[in-house]
Amino acid sequence: MVALCTHERLCASKLKEAQPASNVLPHIVGKEVADVMLKRRGRKPGINNKVATNIRFDNDLLDTFKATGDGWQTRMNDALRDWEQQHRVATVGLIYTHVIPVVCYSRR
């Protein structure tokens, strides 16, 4: 194990002796604990094409998905994806060729 020098920075000689935590931890705390400590957390970089957004849902609908446990957001995304594939409209680039009527209300 590498000991720190008495001053705040590592001595150049000690820095040369330093090893990655993946090499040292298994000998100190055991392989199982080291594996847990060294496990990468979060999403894998570069594979996520999702966007964070704010959206409002009816309480009962949201409660239904949340009641299914961990992964409820993924299941909700899958349900929306299924709907999108069943109701897909022809597109040209990002412009929809199918117009969906929208009712607008104005306050006067």
Asked if residue 67 is part of any domain, the answer here is yes
pTM over 0.85: no
User: Can you state the angle between helices 21-29 and 31-38, rounded to 10 degrees?
Assistant: 140
Q: Can you tell me the distance from the alpha carbon of 54 to that of 73, in angstroms, rounded to the nearest whole number?
A: 13
**37 CB contacts (<8 Å, ≥6 apart)?**
21, 25, 29
Asked if residue 75 is part of any domain, the answer here is yes
Asked if residue 63 is part of any domain, the answer here is yes
Q: Can you tell me the distance from the alpha carbon of 63 to that of 22, in angstroms, rounded to the nearest whole number?
A: 42
Q: Is residue 90 a contact partner of residue 97, using CB atoms and an 8 Å limit?
A: yes
Domain count of the chain? 2
Q: At residue 104, what is the residue type?
A: C
Asked if residue 32 is part of any domain, the answer here is yes
Domain enclosing residue 28, as ranges: 9-40
- For the residues 83-92, what does the mean pLDDT come to? 74
20-32 confidence digits (pLDDT tens): 888 988 999 999 9
Asked if residue 4 is part of any domain, the answer here is no
Place of tokens 């199918």: 98
